[in-house]
Every structure is written in C-alpha cells, then in structure tokens.
Amino acid sequence: MDLVEKYLGESKNVNLPKGAKVTQVNISKIGIGDTVLHNNKLMTVGKNDIKKSSFMGITLFGDSYSLGNKLVNKVILKKMN
C-alpha cells in the first residue's frame, strides 16, 4: 500500500489529482510553493504559511507537527505538458 492509498483510507474527502505522489518529509524540508495534505485538505504553501519561532520552531499553517517529530505529507504533482 502506498502513501496515497494509506492517506485516502483515512480520509475519503481528499481528491488528489491523477498521477500525484505523496511523500512524507520533515517540516524543515517544506518550502513556499509546495503542496501538502493538511487537515484533510490539499493546500499550497505560501510565504505567510511558514513561520519560525524560538519557542515552537517551524510551524506550517500554525501547526508545529509535534515540534518536527511528525512528518508532513508532501504531494508531488505531475507536470502537465
């Protein structure tokens, strides 16, 4: 079972585009323009969505992902020609 099937098994509300791949990465590897699955939604990361603080570390959409111990589901979309 790949990560797409695993994630969709947990939430049937997410419609991923055809050919999309899901990888799990540390929050520090997420950048502006990346697409992630966050709270059962497919979201594109903007410059105001990533914040760094000395107390919580890196946050994405206000979530620290357990201070970096929980992996982020990053979606890699297939480029269309």
Read off the pLDDT of residues 28-67 as tens digits, 9 standing for 90 and up.
999 999 999 998 899 999 999 999 989 999 999 999 999 9
Q: What pLDDT score does 13 carry? A: 65
CA 29 – CA 24 distance, rounded (Å): 10
Q: Pick the residue with more confidence: 50 or 8?
A: 50
Shortest CA distance to 38 belongs to which of 63, 20, 15? 63
- 4, pLDDT greater than 70: no
pLDDT for the residue 78: 83
- Tokens 């990888």 belong to 23
